[in-house]
Amino acid sequence: MLNNWDKWMAKRHKKMKLRCQKGIPPSLRGRVWLYLSGGKVKREQHKGKFEELDSQAGDPKWVDVIERDLHRQFPFHEMFVARGGHGQQDLYRVLKAYTLHRPEEGYCQAQAPIAAVLLMHMPAEDAFWGLVQICEKYLPGYYSAGLEAIQLDGEILFALLKRVSPLAHRHLKKHKMDPILYMTEWFMCAFSRTLPWVSVLRVWDMFLCEGVKIIFRVGLVLLKCMLGSQDKLKTCQGQYETMELLKTIDTRYMQEGFLVREILELPVSERDIEKEHLASVRRWKETRGELHCKSLPRMHGAKAIMAAEPPSRQDLRQNPTIIVESPLATKSNGEDKERKKTKEEKNGKKNSSPTPVAAYLEPSEPSPLLKDTALLGSNQSLSSTEHDTYL
């Protein structure tokens, strides 16, 4: 699929979507996320851009805030546990580069967990372009001052909840609970700070393939499960109790198998979201006036992103990130050359002397490569072990 990405996206997108719903293999997840988001194409079209931004000092106003936030991102993950460790350094580089890339937007605290999740799966430059795509294509306007986009999406979520779970909708409306109270962290962090880690990865696989409708579906599933029956509502008679309930979601509703099944069964489409979006914008203008944040139009998934900015075959070509030469192969190559030289010398002596060749041949030692690796009897070419390529 990665080798023929444009063809798969154009002609067999349904199969691609099913693969993402099933779960991307961990060994491929970083590369696939970069392709899905369009970050791969952006990186190829703007070669050297990240290095240029990385070399700049950055606005002190944002640098100070970013530095204070670094230790708060997944503090128990081995990548970010050490203060000043490589994980925190790369996170700082990515977030600082984004503030230079979009100075009018700057830095928002909710961007840090997004960037951290990306860094767990890809190098800093790739994570930067992944963050750019999420902020500009998937969740445009979410991280701008005033948070108008997230407020609009809160109204969309509330309108969709009326159809999905009328009981939960009535309860939240009765207690005058504005959606921004409970869904801000869910949406702005793409559930990376809410769900168990396995569920986060499965949600992101689908989110980067199908777009923001997956985030809406997760929110609707959680609200429906927590507030969708009379028994559950007995325990939360007021706004405070309801908020506490939504802060401590029952783990069984967040488990991978249950959650993914519910997400796929929920009938909420891009068309539904766009319809409610237009209605929300109209109500906003009637009650609050014009929107201050003029964000880019939202792209609903990988196929829409690719259609909006068609890439070239060169942009999609896979390139190795790191090439490591095996010390065993180097040693073996040196010994092979030495053996060849000895053989040539012996062949020269053979021409000038009647002594049999066998008298000059020493018992051949097994190559260290064959002795130390389990390649005997394998159909793998020995030449393929000379370089390990990590993509």
Separation between Cα atoms, residue 226 and residue 259, nearest integer Å: 13
CA atoms of 66 and 323, how far apart (whole Å): 32
Q: How high is the pLDDT of residue 82?
A: 87
Q: What integer is the mean pLDDT of 124-130?
A: 96
Residue 172 falls inside a structural domain:
yes
Return the pLDDT at 59. 87
> Average of pLDDT values for 255-279?
93
Task: Confirm whether 74 is domain-assigned.
Answer: no
Q: How many domains would you assign to the chain?
A: 1
What integer pLDDT is reported at residue 356 of this predicted model? 44
Rounded average pLDDT over 93-101: 95
pLDDT of residue 229: 84
**Does residue 71 belong to any structural domain of this protein?**
no
Alpha carbon 78 to its chain's center? 18
Q: Tokens 């993402």, residue?
A: 20
CA dihedral for 227, 228, 233, 234, sign (positive or negative): negative
Residue 193 lies in a domain: yes
What is the pLDDT averaged over residues 226-234? 85
Query: Among 39-48, 305-314, 348-357, where is mean pLDDT lowest?
Result: 348-357
Please report whether residue 115 resides in a domain.
Answer: no
Bigger pLDDT: 74 vs 327: 74
Confidence of residue 239 (pLDDT cuts 50, 70, 90): confident
> Residue 125's Cα: distance from chain center in Å?
13
Tokens in use for 4? 């023929």
Residues whose CB falls within 8 Å of the CB of residue 140, separated by 6 or more in sequence, listed in order = 149, 295, 296, 297, 298
Across the range 154-166, mean pLDDT stands at: 93
Residue range 171-175: mean pLDDT, rounded: 90
CATH number of 175's domain = 1.10.472.80
Q: Which of 314, 124, 307, 142 is nearest to 212 (CA)?
A: 142
Does residue 198 sit within a domain?
yes
Range of the domain at 233: 148-288
Residue 117 lies in a domain: no
Average pLDDT over residues 297-320: 86
- For residue 55, give the amino acid letter: S
Q: What angle do CA 314, 46, 304 make, to 5 degrees?
A: 70
**Does residue 177 lie within any of the structural domains?**
yes
Q: Which range, of 8-12, 161-165, 179-183, 358-362, averages the lowest pLDDT?
A: 358-362
Give the pLDDT of residue 314.
83
Q: Is the pLDDT of residue 296 over 80?
A: no
* Mean pLDDT of all residues belonging to the chain: 83
